[in-house]
Structure 1
Amino acid sequence: MDKRQLRRRLMQTRQSLSLGDWREKSDRICAHLQAFPRFAAATTRLAYFSSRQEPDLSPLFGDGRRWGFPRCVEKSLLWHAWKPGEALSQGMFGIFEPHAALALLEPQQVDLLLVPCVGCDRLGYRLGYGGGYYDRLLASPDWQNKPTIGIVFDFAFLPQLPVDAWDRPLDAICTEQGIFELVPHSC
């Protein structure tokens, strides 16, 4: 199965979750993150606003830490500091984004990235939506050594995904079953 077909199948499964199952699974993911030492130690965390029934991390956002969220600008992600209650706008993909006027976060300020995934595999490779935004970000020199945790429901945590030359593995994967730290890959 190619990436496009797999993406479609996984998104259909995700969107077929009942609201109760989605909430329960999302809450379990949040609990695993809160108990994870690398997450607890991070003072500046990057995350995402859930769309298309992605795991919802919003219960974590009011914990007093600094949070950053992406804004899509052309082919790149710009990260803005955001606090609960600050205004959001809908971006070009219908995903909520912080306003452009909010402070930008530079890579050296960031301790941890929570990465949305359509699917992930046991080697840490992720299947995204196909736009390449996170692939470009994680391959750039300023971001490539930042700790990453892929966020995905367990049904989409697969033994193996099709991998392209530009794909970069994540450091850990968090599902409702727990956090799975991965062995670092050689370049």
Structure 2
Amino acid sequence: MQLSKQVLRRQLLQQRQALPEAEWQQKSDRISDHLRQAAFFQQARTVFAYLSFRQEPTLQSLFDDQHQWGVPRCVGSELVWHHWQPHDLDQLQPGKYGIMEPKATLPILSPAVADLILIPAVACSAQGYRLGYGGGYYDRLLSQWPHLKTIGLVFDDADRLPLPTDPWDQPLKAICTEAGFRQPDGKT
């Protein structure tokens, strides 16, 4: 019997938050290293990324001045992306879910300019579907912008899990864990 998204999410978040900080940082650094070495990252001009929350893989070591960075702000039921200078913490504030978000005064970036979008996940299925926090923000974004190069970031122990899916769930183009990159099963 397959667990509901809510039960699975709760179990996986508890498991992830139980990771010792040193292990969480080490796994996060390996994910960032894989991204940094990828040609598509090196060639990207504009990268949309997230600011780590609830022990998601942190991208702190990845943020540099060689890319234009977009970070999301929740506005209603949508994500609005703002240009953010790496490490400019004065331009961030807690949002509606307690996640650090850019201030509304920062310039807005259209998803059309994104060369790459790095998406957090609680878990990913073998087919490239992600389990998020249940708000549907990324699924709405991806349904409107299906051409975006999307990389789901998740720790290896939460990858390739059997996940329930809904008709509105949008698959990712690739997944990156501390073990490396993979394409969703059935994709070339």
Is the pair's TM-score, using the shorter chain for normalization, greater than 0.5?
yes
Q: Which amino acid aligns with 1:57?
A: L
In 2, the alpha carbon distance for the partners of 1:37 and 1:50 equals: 24
Tell me: CA distance 1:158–1:184, structure 2 relative to 1, closer, same or farther (3 Å).
closer
TM-score using structure 2 length: 0.93
- 3-state DSSP class of the match of 1:174? strand
1:29-44 correspondence runs (5 A): 29-44=31-46
* Equivalent residue number for residue 14 of structure 2: 12
Counterpart among 146, 157, 164 of residue 159 in structure 2: 157
- Tell me if structure 1 keeps the 8 A contact 2:65–2:85: no
- 3-state DSSP class of the match of 2:176? strand
**Cα offset for 1:21?**
0.3
Q: Which string of whole-angstrom CA distances, capped at 9 and with x for unpartnered residues, describes residues 92-136 of structure 1?
A: 000001111111111221111100100001111000000111111
Structure 2: gaps spanning 5 or more residues: none
In 2, the alpha carbon distance for the partners of 1:3 and 1:166 equals: 14
* Equivalent residue number for residue 68 of structure 1: 70
TM-score using structure 1 length: 0.94
* Equivalent residue number for residue 146 of structure 1: 148
**Cα offset for 1:63?**
4.0
**Cα offset for 1:18?**
0.1
* Equivalent residue number for residue 92 of structure 1: 96
In 1, the alpha carbon distance for the partners of 2:56 and 2:121 equals: 8
- Tell me if structure 2 keeps the 8 A contact 1:123–1:160: no
* Equivalent residue number for residue 132 of structure 1: 136
- Tell me if structure 2 keeps the 8 A contact 1:171–1:183: no
**Cα offset for 1:183?**
5.8
Q: Which runs of 4+ in 1 moved over 6 A?
A: none
Q: Which string of whole-angstrom CA distances, capped at 9 and with x for unpartnered residues, describes residues 72-98 of structure 1?
A: 001110000100243211100000011
- Counting matched residue pairs gives 183
Structure 1: gaps spanning 5 or more residues: none
- Tell me if structure 2 keeps the 8 A contact 1:29–1:175: yes
In 2, the alpha carbon distance for the partners of 1:178 and 1:130 equals: 26
Q: Which string of whole-angstrom CA distances, capped at 9 and with x for unpartnered residues, describes residues 22-41 of structure 1?
A: 00000000001111122221
* Equivalent residue number for residue 109 of structure 2: 105
Tell me: CA distance 1:54–1:139, structure 2 relative to 1, closer, same or farther (3 Å).
same
